[in-house]
């Protein structure tokens, strides 16, 4: 592994850390160390990184801003790639938007709204990067990425590149083929939006952002929604009706503001959060006969 670090530093792919605590890189402020953490400085740095990882036959994982992610306390073996600066370009051509995977999804929604383009208002309250949104078909307020994405450039595990259409990504609820069938990293996304009344678009975006501020515990570290909504139910409503708001394990607490959020009150561990998740699942199953499925990705060693 030290050989990989040496090669990446020689290739000047970007920032490289050894044994870096991932609590510094997740919105939950939880997570043990990554053996190697790499933040590529540009597209070529990322491609070189992936090819070196493949050559060394090491496991890897990609993160953006670390939302929707729980890293276990033992951390992650192998390599973690963090996308951000260097992959945050943006080009708007009429109603078509081409944007780098490291670009903030909320910022993108704000910029296109100001340009009078409609289609991404739902993203105003979704933390994370464009790449993460493409990867998991992020959505809110009755819409999601699959409604507006034209295509995405993908870097695959072997270092090869391809542009996949919306249809080829085989989107479903919070899922794309990049998660399992064809594992890969989004480098760039192309969105097909539509022209609309700028004031109406900006107002809709502001309404979504205001709703997020009022209903989500953003003053505490959290990951976003923990559970998928078990159709036709609302995950948050079921948890609240079960009387679990405020239930706490260590410094991990079911939010008093929104029951589908687990907040870190200061020093929560991943084990605290996982214990809380299991308690929620068993309680909802017992009380309502409904099976709950986490939306958050749990990674790493215990």
Question: Which of 104, 225, 255, 269 is labelled catalytic?
Answer: 225
The C-alpha atoms of residue 113 and residue 201 are separated, in whole angstroms, by 6
Asked if residues 16 and 45 have their Cβ atoms less than 8 Å apart, the reply is no
**Average of per-residue pLDDT across 201-209:** 90
Question: Which of 174, 176, 188, 269 is labelled catalytic?
Answer: 174
Percentage of residues of the chain with pLDDT beyond 90: 83
pLDDT value of position 274 = 98
Q: Is 225 noted as a catalytic residue in this protein? A: yes
Residues whose CB falls within 8 Å of the CB of residue 10, separated by 6 or more in sequence, listed in order: none
pLDDT tens profile 284-296: 999 999 999 999 9
Instruction: Tell me the whole-structure pTM to 2 decimals.
Output: 0.86
pLDDT tens profile 110-156: 999 999 999 999 998 888 899 999 999 999 888 999 999 999 999 99
**Average of per-residue pLDDT across 29-43:** 96
In 3D, which of 190, 106, 110 has the Cα closest to residue 148?
Answer: 190
- Average pLDDT score over the chain: 94
5: helix, strand or coil: helix
- pLDDT classification of 218: cutoffs 50, 70, 90: confident
Task: For residue 75, give the DSSP letter.
Answer: B
pLDDT value of position 90 = 97
Q: Is 295 noted as a catalytic residue in this protein? A: yes
pLDDT value of position 215 = 86
Highest mean pLDDT of the ranges 51-55, 67-71, 91-95: 91-95
Tell me how crowded residue 242 is: count the other CB atoms within 10 A of its CB.
Answer: 18
Q: Is 147 noted as a catalytic residue in this protein? A: no
Query: What domains, with CATH codes, occur in the chain?
Result: 2-82 (3.30.43.10), 90-214 (3.30.465.10), 219-299 (3.90.78.10)
The C-alpha atoms of residue 208 and residue 276 are separated, in whole angstroms, by 28
pLDDT value of position 196 = 96
**Average of per-residue pLDDT across 81-105:** 94
- pLDDT classification of 68: cutoffs 50, 70, 90: confident
pLDDT tens profile 9-32: 999 999 999 999 999 999 999 999
Lowest mean pLDDT among 63-67, 153-157, 170-174, 239-243: 63-67
pLDDT tens profile 254-288: 999 999 999 999 999 999 999 999 999 999 999 99
**Average of per-residue pLDDT across 40-67:** 91
CA 197 to chain centroid = 30
Question: Which of 20, 52, 121, 295 is labelled catalytic?
Answer: 295
pLDDT value of position 100 = 95
Output the CA–CA distances (angstroms, integers) from residue 283 to 208, 249, 273, 286, 291, in the order listed.
31, 15, 15, 5, 10
Percentage of residues of the chain with pLDDT beyond 70: 100
């Amino acid at each position: 592994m030290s050989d990989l670090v040496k090669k990446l530093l020689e290739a000047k792919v970007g920032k490289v850390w050894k044994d870096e605590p991932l609590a510094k890189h997740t919105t939950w402020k939880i997570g043990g160390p990554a053996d190697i953490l790499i933040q590529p400085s540009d597209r070529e740095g990322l491609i070189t990184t992936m090819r070196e990882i493949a050559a060394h036959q090491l496991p890897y994982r990609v993160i953006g801003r670390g939302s929707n992610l729980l890293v276990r306390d033992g951390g992650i073996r192998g390599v973690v790639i963090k996308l951000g600066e260097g992959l945050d370009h943006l080009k708007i051509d009429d109603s078509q938007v081409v944007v780098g995977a490291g670009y903030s999804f909320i910022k993108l929604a704000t910029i296109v709204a100001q340009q009078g383009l409609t289609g991404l208002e739902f993203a105003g309250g979704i933390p994370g990067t464009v790449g993460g949104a493409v990867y998991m078909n992020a959505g809110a307020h009755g819409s999601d990425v699959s409604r507006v994405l034209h295509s995405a450039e993908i870097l695959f595990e072997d270092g090869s590149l391809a542009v996949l259409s919306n249809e080829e990504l085989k989107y479903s609820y919070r899922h794309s083929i990049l998660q399992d069938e064809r594992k890969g990293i989004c480098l760039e996304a192309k969105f097909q939006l539509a022209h609309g009344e700028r004031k109406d678009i900006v107002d809709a975006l502001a309404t979504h952002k205001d709703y997020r501020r009022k209903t989500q515990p953003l003053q505490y570290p959290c990951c976003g929604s923990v559970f998928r909504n078990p159709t036709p139910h609302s995950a948050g409503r079921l948890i609240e009706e079960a009387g679990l708001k405020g239930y706490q394990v260590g410094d991990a607490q079911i939010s008093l503001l929104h029951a589908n959020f687990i907040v870190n009150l200061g020093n929560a561990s991943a084990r605290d959060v996982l214990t809380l998740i299991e308690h929620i699942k068993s309680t909802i199953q017992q009380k309502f006969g409904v099976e709950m499925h986490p939306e958050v990705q749990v990674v790493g060693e215990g």
